Structure formats: C-alpha cells, structure tokens
Amino acid sequence: MNTEIETISTASYLTCSNCGKIYDIQRQQTFAHCCNQPLITHYNNNKFTKVHLKNKPNNLWRYAAMLPVFDNSNIISLEEGFTPMHTLHKIPAKYAINHLYIKDEGGNPTGSFKARGLSVAISKAKELGIEHCIIPTAGNAGGAMSAYCAKAGIKATVVMPKTSAQLIKEEVQLLGGQLIEVNGFIQDCGKRVQQIAAETGAFDMSTMKEPYRLEGKKTLGYEIAEQFNWQLPDVIIYPTGGGTGLIGMWKAFEELQQMQWLTSNKKTRMVIVQTENCNPMIQMIEKGKKDATFQPAYSIANGLVVPTPFAEKSMLRVIAESNGTGIVVSETDIQQSIREMARTEGLLLSPEGAAAFAGFKKLAEKKWIEEQETVCIVNTGSWYKYH
C-alpha cells in the first residue's frame, strides 16, 4: 500500500565532492567535471524534524524531505526500503560479541539494496525528462534499473559481464530492459556504456557518475539510525564494490547529526569488505596505494568486483573520518559463511552479505571489535538470485 507522500523535498544545490564548486540542482547533472569526482546533494534541512516521520510510508520515501525529487507525481516506488534488522542470537556468543545485527536488504524489490538507489535515481530521471537510461552492472543494479524504468516508462539498456548469474539476465529481459553482455568485468561494461551513450544520447547511470543513486542508498543509513532508535551502532560492516552504500550511509549520519536527530555523538566505525579476487580499496587502505586499480578474477560475490571504483577518494574519506578499516575475505570464507549463517540463524545471505559476515569474524578474532560493541552487518541482497 502506498501511503500519501507529502512532497517536502528540501534539496537545494549540488557541490563537487573535492573542491566544493556549486552545481545547479534544477538541471540534469552527471559528476563534477571540475575535479572528475562525484557530486554531492545538499539540503535546507533545518525545518525537517522527527515529527515529520509520523504517518509517512513504510518505504524509503518516508525520508522524502531529504531526497531530491520535488514533485511527488514523479516518484517511482515499488515499496523499497524499510527492511528488517535481525538480532542474531547464537553467532554473537560464538565470536564473543554481545550485540550483533543484520540489516537484511534481500527483501527489496528485485532482491537487492540496489532498489534504493534506482528508485530515487529513476524518479529524478523522470522529473528531469530523461527518456533512456543505460547502466554498466555486475547484475543487481541492472535488474533494479529495469524494474523502475518499466514503471516509469523509460527505456532501459543494461550492460553486464557474460559471467553474471543467468537468473539476473532473465530478470532484466523480463522487465523489458535491453540486455548487452560483455566479455570482461564491470569496467569493460563501463567503456561500452560510454560508447552507446555517446551514440544514442542515453543517460549514463554508472555508480557515482550521477548524483542520485547515492541519495537513495543513503536511506540505508537513515533506516539503521531509526531502527537503533537514533543511536548509531559502533561498527557497520559493508561489502563494497563502487561504494555507494558506504558513502551514502556516512552522508546520512552527517545529515542526521546536523539535524540533531541522533541521541549521542558516537561515530560509527565503517568497514569495507572486499574479496581476495578484487580488493582495490584494501590495497589503498592497507598498503597506501595511490590509485584504486586491481587485476580482478571472478568472484561469487559479483557485486564486489569493481577494479577501478570512480569514488575511491570519497570511500577513503569515510574510512579516515570514521576511524574505520578494510578487510579481505576469500571465496572459501564466503561459501563457509553462507552455510554458517543459514544453519545457525536461519538466514540466507547473498555472497556479498556473506563476505561482510566473514569480514566481521576476522575483525572479532583480531579484537578490532570489542565484546561490548554493537555491530551491524549489511546483507545487501538475496541468496535466491545467484543460481
């Protein structure tokens, strides 16, 4: 059911995430060409209080005041967000941690948290009159974009590695998306997208190369805060590819802090989890490498194979500002973690979510996480999509 969404967007302007140059929010924008970095949306949020959440829909549009869509007739929603926060019972004792939670994004439309970013980005695309969107994707973002484009009446082109799950390819096609398969990884898909966009005028929805998928993803942070009664967890563990979820949650926490919605000044430590087969961010965090590049190999956690993430600097900033860290897990760790969580807690994790769980175990063993701390692991997708 769709509760009435009162349009109170307080979005006011965009800035370059590097130099602060201002960009016009009334116009179609991509990224900050001044510094070749992502754009950040700013809000005039001083009048948005918790009271405004009363009678708001049980989906991410409850935070519409802090989202960029001005006219609610442009909102394309499939009831995304408002996903469960599971309290784990047996696993915490096993790893000597008292309070462990899973934010379970598997129940979103099209089975992953990508629905958040694409609900907002496609709604905004509709508002801006865009008629054709194109996306390079490991899979899930392409499925989500196809669904929202179908509902919006916007043409969708999805460029995906040949090795992505068959089920996701069928999903895209069933939802009316034009599927293009590429021999290679997501960066090869990105190059193909640039060519097609130049030829057809399609709008490029690549991660962080347009500003509004980030705004959708930040609602993950708003929801975590709301579910923890406005007191943030000590640690959030996030399986990272292009980094929108990580950067988005951190943006949410900054906005909530500014609005004085949080009941403590605690800073959550943010953790990037990547796989042995592709870990450009860990190379930067641990080995001080200057640029994010990696010679990748296939991983069952498809979404984490992003060898050259565009938003590397923004991700590093989150890790530095939050006192966070990065950790690598193996394919075996992922498989073993899927089984462990399923048999112990009855929860089926996506391989990416299982990577985050595997990362948690390593950090608990190293005592980087302490016994009394509250930890939230993000399961970004549904196990059922990987077959």
Ligand X SMILES: Cc1ncc(COP(=O)(O)O)c(C=O)c1O
* Binding interface with ligand X (CB under 6 A): 112, 114, 138, 140-141, 207, 239-245, 303-304, 306, 350, 352, 380-381
Cα 117 versus chain centre, distance: 7
- Binder of residue 32, out of ligand X, Zn ion, none (CB less than 5 to 8 A by kind): Zn ion
Interaction between residue 33 and Zn ion (CB under 5 A)? no
Only one of the segments 20-28, 203-211, 213-221, 336-344 lies at the binding site for Zn ion (rule: CB under 5 A); that segment is: 20-28
In which residue are the tokens 């009271």 written?
51
End-to-end CA distance of the chain: 31
Nearest residue (CB) to ligand X, 11 versus 304: 304
Interaction between residue 18 and Zn ion (CB under 5 A)? yes
User: Which one of residues 32, 65, 284, 377 is an interface residue with Zn ion (CB under 5 A)?
Assistant: 32
* Residue 367 burial by Cβ neighbours in a 10 Å radius (0-12, 13-18, 19+): exposed
Only one of the segments 12-20, 144-152, 202-210, 271-279 lies at the binding site for Zn ion (rule: CB under 5 A); that segment is: 12-20
Least separation in angstroms between residue 175's CB and ligand X is 16
Least separation in angstroms between residue 275's CB and Zn ion is 32
Only one of the segments 18-26, 167-175, 293-301, 305-313 lies at the binding site for Zn ion (rule: CB under 5 A); that segment is: 18-26
* Residue 178 burial by Cβ neighbours in a 10 Å radius (0-12, 13-18, 19+): middle
Comparing C-alpha atoms, which of 84, 40, 381, 371 is closest to residue 226? 84
Least separation in angstroms between residue 156's CB and ligand X is 16
Interaction between residue 22 and Zn ion (CB under 5 A)? no
Distance (Å, whole) CA 363 – CA 358: 9
Q: How many CB atoms lie within 10 A of CB 46?
A: 10
User: Which one of residues 3, 6, 21, 371 is an interface residue with Zn ion (CB under 5 A)?
Assistant: 21
Nearest residue (CB) to Zn ion, 22 versus 320: 22
Q: What are the beta bridge partners of residue 102?
A: 86, 377
Nearest residue (CB) to ligand X, 65 versus 108: 108
- Binder of residue 19, out of ligand X, Zn ion, none (CB less than 5 to 8 A by kind): Zn ion
Nearest residue (CB) to Zn ion, 42 versus 86: 42
Only one of the segments 13-21, 63-71, 179-187, 331-339 lies at the binding site for Zn ion (rule: CB under 5 A); that segment is: 13-21
**CA 130, 115, 36 angle in degrees (round to 5)?**
60
Torsional class of 266: left (φ above 0), alpha (ψ -120 to 50), beta (otherwise): beta
In which residue are the tokens 């924008």 written?
29
* Residue 151 burial by Cβ neighbours in a 10 Å radius (0-12, 13-18, 19+): middle
Contacting residues toward Zn ion, per CB under 5 A: 16, 18-19, 21, 32, 34-35
